[in-house]
Amino acid sequence: MKPRLLALAAPLALGLATAAGLASGEDLLQIYREALRADPAIAAAKANWEATQEKAPQARAGLLPSVTATGSGNVYNYDATIKSDPRQDISRSFNQYNATVSASQPLFRYQNLMLYDQARQQVTQADYVLNSVQQDLIVRVADAYFAILLAQFNIELAESQKKAVSEQLAQAKRNFEVGVATITDTNEAQAKYDAIVAQEITVRNEYDNRVTALRAIIGRYPKDLKRLGGGLVPALPEPNVADFWVDRALKENLNVRIAESSFEIAKLEVERARGGHYPTLDLVGSYSAQGSSAAISSSVSSDSRTGIIGLQLNVPIYLGGFVDSRVREAIALLEKSRQDLEFARRAALFQAQTGFAGVNSATASVRAFEQAVVSAESALASNILGQEVGVRTFLDVLQVQQNVYSTRRDLADAYFKYLIGVLRLKASVGALTEQDVEDLNRQLKG
């Protein structure tokens, strides 16, 4: 009877070994760095960041001198006939030119000052936006990567389970033929086998979907992916205090910082709108030169130079209510940005709390499922021996075997939830970087 026990246990051992993962292939860090080059979302964020960097020099230009030069040159042909006695014909050709250099230096333009402060806030905000997209990319890549590994794990479990049940089905048929089992045992084994075949089709389809999801990020189908090594030991957050992570998220969450920048920009926009009521003062100057080789009425050439420097004051008196309307609009948008900031803070609080609880829960789940796998395998071995001596039925063995497979799948899922949970918790406090990807990648082995 021992050979039948070993035949049943072999595929289970195979499934566990493949779950540990020794296949070589692309690792998480390679996939992430390729995503940095190929993902459209990160490419768009980088382009937006580069464009936003130009906001500051554009706004600064409103505080710096502006110089313009204009010039013109004309050639005249003048022909006239005076019908007098005696008759007079006049024909004259001459050149004229004009050149002017004008300069203006703003001395007081309140709106331009506010615009420059806004631009600096926008540049700072662009850094937060880019970092937020990079963090989101890390989570998306890791989520897609581990989803593929879990799908592969499910396929291997289904294959091993199908092999084991197939052997049990063959054994049930042999026992029925020799009269030591009923047709019920055979039918139950056949039903289990058919169910596993259907499950295998489902998990293979799920695997294809997960691969396609990663392809959408990196722009190609991934090769074989490296799997988790066997030495991963889940750790609780440090410090393991929820208030620490919540308080940090309220201050350092990137979406909160983006919303804070938007709020500051909105406050400056109110001031800029009010600046429409303020006068402007500029230092202006110009230098011009005109000359002509002759004139219509004279053949005498001329040449002149003119230099001007002074102050130019503009005082708005009435602009049809435009400025007041702009102020009211800016105040309303300021209130919107205030509420957006509050929403971002509440969302960050939720992310930190759920992230912290998720890591703790996943850590406990991993430990519980590790013990559950050991217990399930012991129960399976006991039931196989019980069937050998006649105290357990064939159905008992199949049910316990199903429990072993589902427990292993639950353990793999708990591992991946833990890893993704750690990344999400760090993202909730704005601390997720490529270094975290490298650290996680060390847990993979080919």
List pLDDT tens digits, range 81-100. 777 777 777 777 888 899 99
| Residue 24 binned pLDDT confidence (cut-offs 50, 70, 90) | low
**Residue 117 above 70 pLDDT?**
yes
Q: How confident is the model over 226-248, as pLDDT tens digits?
A: 888 766 788 999 999 999 999 99
What radius of gyration do the chain's Cα atoms show?
Answer: 39
Distance separating alpha carbons of residues 205 and 414, to the nearest angstrom:
22
The predicted pLDDT at position 228 comes to 80
Break the chain into its structural domains and give their ranges: 2-66+109-278+319-445
pLDDT, average across residues 128-156: 95
Sheet with strand 66-82: strands edge to edge: 66-82, 88-108, 280-292, 302-314
pLDDT of 1 higher than 80: no
Q: What whole-number distance in Å separates Cα of residue 110 and Cα of residue 42?
A: 37
What pLDDT, on the 0 to 100 scale, is given for residue 71?
94
pLDDT at 2 over 80: no
Percent of the chain at pLDDT exceeding 70: 92
Distance in angstroms (rounded) separating the CA atoms of residues 128 and 130: 6
| Cα separations in angstroms, 183 against 4, 39, 174, 178 | 20, 57, 11, 11
Average pLDDT on 423-437 reads: 96
Q: What is the mean pLDDT of the chain?
A: 88
pLDDT tier, 344 (very low <50, low <70, confident <90, very high otherwise): very high
Task: Give which of 97, 85, 159 is closest to 304, Cα–Cα.
Answer: 97
- Average the pLDDT over 45-52 and give the result: 97
Residues 6+ apart with CB under 8 A from 19: 153, 156, 157, 227, 408, 412
Over residues 182-205, the pLDDT tens digits come to 777 778 778 888 888 898 999 999
pLDDT recorded at residue 181? 66
Q: What is the pLDDT of residue 79?
A: 76
Q: Residue 393 and residue 405: Cα distance in Å, rounded?
A: 19
Q: What is the pLDDT of residue 391?
A: 83
Q: What is the mean pLDDT of residues 136-153?
A: 95
User: In a 3-state reduction of DSSP, which class is residue 88?
Assistant: strand
Q: What pLDDT score does 120 carry?
A: 97
With respect to CATH, is domain 2-66+109-278+319-445 assigned 1.10.8.60? no
Q: Which two tokens stand for residue 396?
A: 């008992």
Q: What is the pLDDT of residue 366?
A: 93
In one-letter notation, the amino acid at residue 199 is Q
The reported pTM is 0.82
Share of the chain above pLDDT 90, in %: 64
Q: What is the pLDDT of residues 252-279, one digit of tens each?
A: 999 999 999 999 999 999 999 999 999 9
Query: What's residue 345's pLDDT?
Result: 97
